């Protein structure tokens, strides 16, 4: 447990003076609290002796209570703000780590799991610092001040209360181990629950369309029950730890009353001192009543710390180690040499096998091929969403690994196959990388993507909220919006991954003509399944099973009578793209 929590030292260390001052302030509050019984004992003994002058003890008690109130207020503020600040920094670090992970990471971890770590796990650490630190410090100070005062009042009576302590220690160790096991199980089940909810709500339309609501409710019930069972196991251990504390307090009270009363009768202890002794015993025992809760906080926070640093300590999936020789801007000369690639998590044949291709600056190139032929993988490698072997992909003669990632991806703009939009106004989606773009430039990109009339049809136009993942727009509208977001950047290299699959032929022709106008002299690479799209490019690259099998213009490939010519025949005779993808074509 301590090893896991020790990893938080770098985050807590930033606020060490604030936390240390808070801990010292709690020590001062315990000192004020310990003063009250002594003053009370003096007052009781004076009254018992027939002396009515108790003004002094009353003044001491009143001052100690006010002093404790002031010091505790400051201490709680310092410690709890430390917990809040540490949680803030952890959340920032986790989010930063997530932003630099690639597809391999998100194939292993679910979004729901990451949400649980970002919210629930960090909240546990915040509670540990804000609440657990306070309880632990109070327990330590109460033990030190309480036992110190008890020894001062009656060493023999204090020693009589020590024998149960070893048993308490052994039981605490056993409970701590059990709590660690159950805490990890609780957090894992909570991650499963978050992942289930996130996946279910993201696919709610599919669930409803396939009439699977009852089945999903049943599956959620099973996941929810697993979390509840794990939490119940943890609660049983916690409750058992708390249940024996009243028994300990009762044993202590009986012991003090019996033996302490005897000491009073023998004149070795006054009635006021016995009353103060009772107070100090309660001062020591009271924090132990929440010992189970403290152990639970520490164990759950230790598990949360392990889960957080499992992500935070990961190296970025795509290393960003640029060279000083990489140019600030690129011309768009792309050279791919002997590129082979396999996904690390997949035990199967290479996705790309010895790909070599030279795309000249200002050239437009279409990439076509069956599903699974490696088209999208090739595009992701060019922008380093996947990392190619060094020397296999160069831009303007420089290995793409020599470019800073931010510079590479700003100069080589990728419009992905999945048209993702944020739940923000449409205008903010179009200007996502630079919200300060001029309005004329926004409308120009919208016009080129054939989106202007759609926007003007909305009552709020660019201020129209598109909902989560652009749910209020149709598939074609989302594709055109993401295309406009790519066009507005005017990047030297524009890569379009099958961005016309949801638009009709007339819209496609308009967009392609606009691309020719806007991208004159700039490099454009696009993936398409339609011959009507590819024929406008300077060159067409046909891929099959991870290899390039044909390269040439539309007319050249038709004359060659190969894979491209067969695809053109299928589409010309009325078959759609899916026929080609499913049936294949002869090579």
The tens digit of pLDDT for each residue in 63-110 reads 888 988 998 899 888 988 888 889 888 888 888 888 888 777 777 877
Among candidates 62, 182, 71, which has minimal Cα distance to 134? 71
| Angle, in degrees to the nearest 10, between helices 291-312 and 213-255 | 140
Looking at the fold, whether 220 and 357 belong to one and the same domain comes out as no
pLDDT single digits (tens) 208-219: 666 667 777 788
Is the distance from CB of 564 to CB of 366 less than 8 angstroms?
no
In this predicted structure, the answer to whether residue 234 has a pLDDT above a threshold of 80 is: no
Contacts 24+ apart (CB under 8 A), 530-536: 530/500, 530/571, 530/577, 531/564, 531/567, 531/568, 531/571, 531/572, 532/505, 532/508, 532/571, 533/366, 533/500, 533/508, 534/366, 534/368, 536/364, 536/366, 536/512
CA 265 to chain centre: 66
- Is 512 a member of any domain? yes
Tokens for 498, please give them. Answer: 């099958």
In this predicted structure, the answer to whether residue 577 has a pLDDT above a threshold of 60 is: no
- Is 324 a member of any domain? no
pLDDT single digits (tens) 164-185: 666 666 666 676 667 667 777 7
Task: Show which of 312, 342, 360 is a domain's final residue.
Answer: 312
pLDDT single digits (tens) 446-500: 787 777 777 778 777 877 777 666 666 777 777 778 888 888 888 888 888 877 7
Q: What is the rounded distance in angstroms from the CA atom of residue 486 to the CA atom of residue 561?
A: 35
Looking at the fold, whether 11 and 111 belong to one and the same domain comes out as yes
Q: Give the chain's length.
A: 587
Lowest mean per-residue pLDDT among 21-25, 134-138, 155-159, 504-508: 504-508
Q: How confident is the model at residue 39 (pLDDT cuts 50, 70, 90)?
A: confident
Can you tell me which residue has the tokens 């296999």?
A: 392
Looking at the fold, whether 559 and 454 belong to one and the same domain comes out as yes
Looking at the fold, whether 275 and 307 belong to one and the same domain comes out as yes
In this predicted structure, the answer to whether residue 523 has a pLDDT above a threshold of 60 is: yes
Domain range spanning residue 196? 2-312
Looking at the fold, whether 436 and 495 belong to one and the same domain comes out as yes
- CATH at 108: 1.20.1560.10
- Is 131 a member of any domain? yes
Per 3-state DSSP, the chain is made up of helix, strand and coil in percentages (nearest 5) of 65, 10, 25
- Is 195 a member of any domain? yes
Question: The dihedral of CA 260, 158, 174, 132: what is its sign?
Answer: positive
Instruction: Give the rounded percent of residues in the chain with a pLDDT score beyond 70.
Output: 86
Looking at the fold, whether 348 and 296 belong to one and the same domain comes out as no
In this predicted structure, the answer to whether residue 17 has a pLDDT above a threshold of 60 is: yes
Looking at the fold, whether 546 and 428 belong to one and the same domain comes out as yes
Lowest mean per-residue pLDDT among 255-259, 378-382, 569-573, 583-587: 583-587
Looking at the fold, whether 281 and 356 belong to one and the same domain comes out as no
- Is 173 a member of any domain? yes
Looking at the fold, whether 540 and 456 belong to one and the same domain comes out as yes
Q: How many CA atoms lie within 13 A of 47 on its CB side?
A: 13
- CATH at 542: 3.40.50.300
What's the rounded mean pLDDT across residues 45-63?
81
pLDDT on residue 447: 81
Higher pLDDT, 576 or 222: 222
Among candidates 43, 265, 269, which has minimal Cα distance to 158? 269
Q: How confident is the model at residue 585 (pLDDT cuts 50, 70, 90)?
A: very low
Q: Is 0.85 topped by the overall pTM?
A: no
Looking at the fold, whether 233 and 192 belong to one and the same domain comes out as yes
pLDDT on residue 498: 78
- Is 491 a member of any domain? yes
pLDDT on residue 1: 59
Among candidates 145, 78, 177, 148, which has minimal Cα distance to 287? 145
Among candidates 479, 147, 476, 481, which has minimal Cα distance to 282? 147
Among candidates 519, 294, 527, which has minimal Cα distance to 414? 527
In this predicted structure, the answer to whether residue 349 has a pLDDT above a threshold of 70 is: no
- Is 322 a member of any domain? no
- Is 323 a member of any domain? no
How many structural domains does the chain have? 2
Q: How confident is the model at residue 578 (pLDDT cuts 50, 70, 90)?
A: very low
Looking at the fold, whether 235 and 358 belong to one and the same domain comes out as no
Looking at the fold, whether 115 and 208 belong to one and the same domain comes out as yes
Tokens for 169, please give them. Answer: 């220690």
pLDDT on residue 583: 38
Higher pLDDT, 346 or 423: 423
């Amino acid at each position: 447990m301590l090893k896991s929590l020790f990893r938080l030292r770098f985050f807590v260390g930033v606020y060490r003076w604030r936390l240390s001052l808070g801990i010292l302030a709690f020590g001062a509050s315990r000192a004020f609290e310990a003063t009250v019984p002594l003053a009370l004992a003096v007052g009781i003994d004076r009254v018992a002796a027939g002396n009515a002058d108790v003004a002094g003890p009353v003044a001491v008690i009143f001052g100690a209570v006010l002093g404790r109130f002031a010091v505790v207020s400051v201490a709680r503020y310092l410690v709890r703000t430390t917990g809040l600040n540490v949680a803030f920094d952890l959340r920032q670090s986790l989010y930063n780590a997530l932003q630099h992970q690639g597809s391999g990471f998100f194939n292993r971890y679910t979004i729901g799991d990451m949400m649980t770590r970002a919210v629930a796990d960090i909240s546990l650490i915040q509670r540990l610092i804000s609440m657990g630190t306070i309880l632990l410090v109070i327990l330590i100070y109460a033990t030190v001040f309480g036992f110190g005062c008890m020894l001062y009042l009656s060493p023999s009576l204090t020693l009589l209360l020590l024998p149960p302590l070893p048993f308490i220690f052994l039981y605490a160790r056993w409970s701590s181990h059990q709590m660690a096991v159950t805490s990890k199980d609780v957090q894992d089940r909570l991650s499963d629950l978050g992942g289930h909810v996130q996946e279910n709500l993201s696919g709610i339309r599919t669930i409803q369309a396939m009439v699977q609501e009852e089945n999903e409710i049943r599956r959620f019930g099973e996941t929810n029950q697993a979390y509840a069972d794990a939490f119940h196991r943890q609660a049983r251990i916690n409750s058992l730890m708390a249940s024996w504390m009243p028994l300990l307090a009762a044993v202590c009270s009986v012991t003090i009353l019996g033996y302490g009363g005897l000491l009073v009768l023998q004149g070795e202890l006054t009635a006021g001192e016995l009353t103060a002794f009772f107070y100090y015993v309660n001062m020591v025992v009271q924090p132990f009543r929440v010992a189970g809760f403290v152990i639970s906080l520490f164990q759950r926070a230790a598990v949360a710390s392990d889960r957080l640093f499992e992500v935070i300590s990961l190296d970025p999936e795509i290393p960003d180690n640029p060279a000083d020789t990489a140019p600030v801007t690129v011309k768009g000369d792309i050279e791919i040499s002997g590129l082979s690639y396999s996904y690390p998590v997949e035990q199967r044949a290479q996705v790309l096998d010895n790909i070599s291709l030279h795309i000249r600056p200002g050239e437009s190139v279409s990439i076509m091929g069956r599903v699974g032929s490696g088209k999208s993988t090739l595009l992701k490698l060019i922008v380093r969403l996947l990392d190619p072997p060094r020397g296999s992909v160069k831009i303007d003669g420089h290995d793409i690994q020599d470019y800073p990632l931010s510079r590479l991806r700003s100069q080589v703009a990728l419009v992905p196959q999945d048209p993702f939009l944020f739940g923000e106004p449409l205008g903010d989606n179009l200007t996502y990388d630079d919200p300060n773009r001029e309005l004329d430039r926004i409308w120009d990109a919208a016009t080129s993507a054939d989106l202007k009339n759609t926007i003007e049809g909305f009552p709020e136009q660019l201020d129209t909220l598109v909902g989560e993942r652009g749910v209020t727009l149709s598939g074609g509208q989302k594709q055109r919006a993401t295309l406009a977001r790519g066009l507005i950047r005017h990047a030297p290299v524009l890569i379009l991954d099958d961005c016309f699959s949801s638009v009709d032929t007339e819209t496609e022709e308009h967009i392609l003509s606009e691309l020719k106008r806007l991208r004159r002299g700039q490099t454009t690479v696009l993936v398409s399944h339609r011959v009507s799209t590819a024929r406008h490019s300077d060159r067409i690259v046909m891929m099959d099973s991870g290899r390039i099998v044909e390269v040439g213009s539309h007319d050249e490939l038709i004359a060659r009578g190969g894979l491209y010519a067969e695809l053109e025949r299928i589409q010309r005779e009325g078959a759609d793209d899916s026929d080609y993808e499913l049936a294949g074509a002869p090579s």
